[in-house]
């Protein structure tokens, strides 16, 4: 990406160079945000296992999942406690045919509980004013276009693991 940006600048295509620079910056923020989310759940599972739970953990890279009409590509983490499971999917569109991230974000994620659909959450990765990636939960307010946004923290990841074990 850096080489393409340098070539664009060398031939006077500042607009292309700026786009490539922004894309590289956004991809770095996406990677950090998705890694943080997966690690938050892995940490919560590790804490639960040290306290006596017997969770099994499996992860998959290059996982594809749909959000609306778009396809996100990223990671999937599954935590299992017997037949119950929590699945975390986090990613972003990698090519134009994959679509876009709606809602003004960089990436999307989904936390789903097998057999307990209401316990799941949809997440949106945004940047803070200082450029730090941050996950927000998206909650439907009754109208399809209206959604409230709350910070998703490590304590929410622990709450999902606790619900899995409950």
Residues 161/79, Cβ–Cβ less than 8 Å: yes
What's the domain range around 159?
A: 34-165
DSSP codes joined into one string, 141-157: -SSTT-EEEEE--HHHH
**What is the 8-class DSSP label of residue 162?**
H
Q: What is the pLDDT of residue 2?
A: 62
Ranges of H-type helices in 51-76: none
> Kind and range of the H or E element at 109?
strand 107-113
Residues of the chain with confidence (pLDDT) below 50:
none
Q: What integer best gives the mean pLDDT of the chain? A: 88
Query: What Cα–Cα distance (Å) separates residue 155 from each residue in 41, 100, 159?
Result: 10, 29, 6
Q: What is the pLDDT of residue 7?
A: 61
For residue 107, is it within any domain? Answer: yes
Give the number of domains in the chain: 1
d(CA 137, CA 160): 13
For residue 120, is it within any domain? Answer: yes
For residue 76, is it within any domain? Answer: yes
Q: What is the pLDDT of residue 103?
A: 81
For residue 154, is it within any domain? Answer: yes
For the entire predicted model, the pTM comes to 0.86
SS3 25: helix
């Amino acid at each position: 990406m850096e080489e393409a940006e340098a070539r664009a600048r060398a031939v006077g295509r500042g607009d292309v160079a700026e786009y490539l620079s922004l894309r590289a910056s956004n991809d770095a923020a996406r990677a950090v945000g998705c890694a943080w989310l997966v690690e938050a759940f892995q940490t919560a599972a590790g804490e639960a296992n040290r306290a006596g739970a017997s969770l099994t953990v499996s992860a998959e890279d290059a996982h594809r999942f749909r959000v609306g009409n778009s396809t996100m590509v990223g990671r999937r983490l599954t935590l299992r406690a017997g037949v119950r499971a929590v699945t975390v999917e986090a990613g972003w569109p990698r090519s134009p045919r994959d679509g876009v991230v709606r809602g003004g974000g960089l990436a999307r994620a989904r936390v789903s509980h097998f057999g307990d659909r209401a316990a799941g959450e949809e997440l949106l990765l945004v940047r803070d004013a200082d450029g730090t990636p941050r996950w927000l939960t998206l909650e439907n307010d009754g109208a399809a276009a209206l959604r409230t946004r709350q910070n998703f923290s490590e304590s929410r990841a622990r709450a999902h693991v606790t619900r899995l074990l409950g």
